[in-house]
Amino acid sequence: MWIGHCNYSYHLEGYEDIRHQSYDSFLMRLQTEGLAEATIEDQHFALEYGDIILVPSGCYYHLKVHPDTPSGDFHIFANGDWIDQWWTELNQPFHVKVSDARQMTTLWNFLSTETRRPPTEQNHELIGYFFKSICLLIKQETIARSAKKRPFVVTEMMRYIEEHALDTFMIEEVARSVDLSVSRSVHLFKEYTGKTMIEYAHDIRLTAAISQMKYTNMTLDHIAENCGFGNYPYFHRVFKKAYGQAPGQYRRSL
């Protein structure tokens, strides 16, 4: 697998690029700030924060940033058997919306920094891992959205809960993160996941608690607090309902 130019661009005065046969390598572009427009073959996309376009070689490609709408993006060029296989398994979409753009931006920034080093200082194994991580996250997004045909806003709520499950959060905060009312967000989440937001958070917290029971010497009180349950009695009640035994009994069985 070859990984070529990887960089960040910011346009204040507009920008336009037309490629009738795209580039000679696979192009991936993540919109990180502002707005842009892209046409790939006969499909048009209005791009905002978190939008990724995927452009294989040989395709018509037109990118436009209007002078009055500043735009920032990460982009990378690559080719090889691995990315061809990934692209085939992805069912070849030209556009993917990611629910956690911060995570993707962090990875892309690491990759960009590593590829800017002098060739003798570059860690090519690390570059490959960063690039494959980006690709696999994109694949995860497409699988998550297509598996149950759920709206993107539900995936966004799931990602918010996953990020904050081990802390104390309120349903209102989840709703606010996707600009929905509490009642609407609660209804959509339950409809498309089959669980309430708290039940989904409990699944994450219980998984973390079991891991800490297995691999640390922390007390159960400490684990309860550390995994977002707040106190041991609440942790005990949720754990026993899920697994049919108390946390202490479960830990001894390990």
131: domain CATH number is: 2.60.120.280
**Runs of H (alpha helix) within the chain:** 81-89, 101-116, 124-147, 152-164, 171-177, 182-193, 197-215, 220-226, 232-243, 247-253
The span from the CA of 104 to the CA of 78, in Å, is 17
In a shared domain, residues 208 and 112: no
Q: How many domains is the chain partitioned into structurally?
A: 2
In a shared domain, residues 193 and 241: yes
pLDDT at 147 over 70: no
Coil, strand, or helix at residue 64?
strand
pTM exceeds 0.75 for this model: no
Q: Which domain holds residue 242?
A: 150-254
In a shared domain, residues 84 and 157: no
In a shared domain, residues 120 and 164: no
The span from the CA of 138 to the CA of 132, in Å, is 10
Torsion of CA 208, 210, 216, 221, to 10 degrees: 90
| Overall size of the chain counted in residues | 254
In a shared domain, residues 136 and 26: yes
Mean pLDDT of 129-137: 94
In a shared domain, residues 112 and 36: yes
Contact by Cβ (8 Å): 36, 72? no
In a shared domain, residues 9 and 87: yes
In a shared domain, residues 9 and 107: yes
The span from the CA of 240 to the CA of 229, in Å, is 13
In a shared domain, residues 118 and 18: yes
Average pLDDT over all residues of the chain: 92
In sequence order, which residues have a C-beta less than 8 Å from that of residue 71 and are 6 or more positions away? 10, 11, 15, 31, 33, 34, 35, 36, 65
Residue appearing with tokens 């009640």: 237
pLDDT at 243 over 90: yes
We report the CATH number of the domain holding residue 228 as 1.10.10.60
In a shared domain, residues 155 and 141: no
The span from the CA of 33 to the CA of 11, in Å, is 10
In a shared domain, residues 175 and 132: no
**Where on the phi/psi map is residue 150: left (φ > 0), alpha (ψ -120 to 50), or beta?**
beta
Q: pLDDT by residue (tens digit) across 19-76?
A: 987 788 999 999 999 999 999 999 999 999 999 999 999 899 999 999 988 899 999 9
In a shared domain, residues 39 and 103: yes
